[in-house]
Chain A
Amino acid sequence: MTVFFHYSLYGFANVYLVGNDDNGQAFVVDPAAFTTGLLSFIEGKGYSVTAALITHNHIHHVAGLKTLLRVYDAEVYSNNAEIDGVPCRLVHDGDRFTASGLDVEAISVPGHSADSVVFRVGKILFSGDAIFAGTIGSTMSQYSHGLLRDQLEQKILSQSDDCLILPGHGPPSSVAAERQFNLGLRQSKAEALRARYEFFV
């Protein structure tokens, strides 16, 4: 298995290409953009994209999906029945499936959005906007902030230390690093918003 990252200027999001070197197939995680540069890269490596995994349906992570599907006949896996008119294979918490010949597990981590899913491939966690290096995903309320923290602690931080975290934005990390150095997991939503609140009051 080979993993490539592509920094999308649209939304400053990370796009991942995961290649199966045994069968020449690949899948894309969060096609934030599908540029000619990325297409040339995929073709240069000789991969055929057969799947797209969507961590959540936010525009900065799916804007390139339709372009990708014009080029490749790929199956879309998501926690949504459809994304912008594109039908998806619905995945739920704990579902295991095979994409491009690689075993994938879907881990539902709602909070940033209701449809947020972390995809686990071996010891790699494609975490979307659920958790980043040092922070967690933004949320709309104290309830969703608490929900996200609980879900992350139960399902992500419980993974082994050497699991790699490849997020939707920012640099990579590991489960061990996030257990120790994630400020978002230490901060309550009220604390996070206090500075702004005090500014207005």
Chain B
Amino acid sequence: MYSFKRCSAPGCEATVLSGSEFCASHHPDPKAYAEDTLTRLAGTHTIKNENLSGLMLEGADLSGKRFYACSFARSALKNVTFAGSLFRMCFFDFCQADSCDFSGVDAQFCSFAGARLFNASFENSELIHNNFNGLAAESCTFSFSNLYNSRFMMANFRSTDFVDCNLKNAWLIDTVENEVSWKYSNLQEAVRSMEDAE
């Protein structure tokens, strides 16, 4: 796992960014740190134990990489591509992703709880055993993906497509849906109430 060392700023309980003594809020130059980190990651295929929580990442190409136990929690991602990447036990909780490409990813045991996604694509992905609770997704697509055993409790979908998805044992409870397409997906195999979940 990434380091759970506390930020050096007095009174701050957040964990430090990888290789730093500070969290993103207290780092003296988070923009330069983010640029340096992206440059370093560009030459790395397998990325383990990176804590990038709270950073703003823009225009990065992180496609085709393998991420293990990394955190992007509360980060702001804009025009970042993760296409074809593999994620295991990675955390995107409460992140804001604008126009990001997660198409063709293989994500298992990850959390996107409370994330806000706008114009994001998860098409053709393996999204097994993931936490999307509290997700707010607008103009997104999860089409042609396997969502087996993933949870979307209290999620809010607007203009979002789930065409031809595997929804077996996907938890879609207390969701708010506007202009959502479930065409060709096995919605009847999804878990839609707490009674079914028990």
* A interface residue numbers (CB < 8 A to B): 1-3, 5, 7, 12, 122-124, 133-135, 138, 160, 162, 164, 170-174, 176-177, 180-181, 183-184, 187, 192, 195-196
Contacts and interface: CB of A to CB of B under 8 A. Distances in A.
Contacts of A2: 1, 49, 69
Nearest to A184: B194
Contact of B109 (A124, A171, A176): A171
Interface in B144-198: 149-151, 153-154, 171, 173-174, 193-195, 197-198
Contacts of B15: 123, 162
Contacts of B53: 162
B145 to A, nearest CB: 15
A187 B150 contact: no
27 contacts: A2-B49, A3-B69, A7-B109, A124-B1, A124-B4, A133-B151, A133-B153, A134-B153, A134-B171, A135-B194, A138-B198, A170-B131, A170-B149, A171-B111, A171-B129, A171-B131, A171-B149, A173-B113, A173-B133, A174-B111, A180-B134, A181-B114, A181-B133, A181-B153, A181-B154, A183-B153, A183-B174
Contact of A7 (B113, B129, B131): B129
Contacts, number: 103
B14 interface: yes
B153 A122 contact: no
B130 interface: yes
A172 B1 contact: no
B73 interface: yes
A124 B113 CA distance: 16
Contact of B111 (A122, A172, A180, A195): A172
A12 B149 CA distance: 10
A188 to B, nearest CB: 12
A195 B49 CA distance: 44
A1 B149 CA distance: 27
A164 to B, nearest CB: 7
